[in-house]
């Protein structure tokens, strides 16, 4: 688990950077590679009654790992996308799970 949810960037583009990005994240977060999941979410943006291009947005859903690790993760993901894909601007946000409110198979952490 950290879950990386991406909107506004085609999955074929994310495939190009996914392995190297996860390599860097494994080192930064200090958790096994198979804990990471990237989900590319297809969405439709509507502005002023018209379909518009979806603004690139990344959400990382995880358990809190402190500000320093969070800053490092944000930089790794942002740099991976902006430096390797045709993405100039993007937003990124963290959703922090609370252990007593996160359940796996009916049991909280």
pTM: 0.92
Measure Cα distances from 79 to 45, 94, 100 in Å. 24, 16, 33
The structure tokens 């879950």 sit at: 3
Residue 84 has a pLDDT of 96
Q: Is 105 left (phi over 0), alpha (psi -120 to 50) or beta?
A: left
Digits of tens for pLDDT over the chain (109 positions)? 799 999 999 999 999 999 999 999 999 999 999 999 999 999 999 999 999 999 999 999 999 999 999 999 999 999 999 999 989 999 999 999 999 999 999 988 7
pLDDT value for 44: 96
Pick the CATH number of 3-108 from 3.10.25.10, 3.30.429.10, 3.40.50.10490, 3.40.640.10: 3.30.429.10
What per-residue confidence (pLDDT) applies to 79?
Answer: 97
Output the pLDDT for position 108.
Answer: 84
* Domain residue ranges in the chain: 3-108
């Amino acid at each position: 688990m950290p879950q990386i949810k991406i909107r506004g960037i085609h999955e074929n583009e994310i495939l190009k950077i996914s392995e190297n990005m996860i390599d860097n994240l494994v080192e930064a977060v200090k958790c096994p590679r198979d804990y990471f999941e990237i989900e590319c979410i297809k969405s439709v943006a509507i502005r002023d009654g018209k379909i518009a291009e979806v603004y690139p947005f990344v959400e990382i859903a995880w358990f809190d790992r402190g500000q320093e690790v969070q800053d490092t993760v944000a930089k790794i993901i942002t740099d991976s996308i902006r430096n390797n894909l045709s993405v100039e601007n993007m937003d990124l946000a963290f959703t922090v799970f609370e252990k007593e409110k996160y359940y796996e198979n009916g049991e909280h952490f």
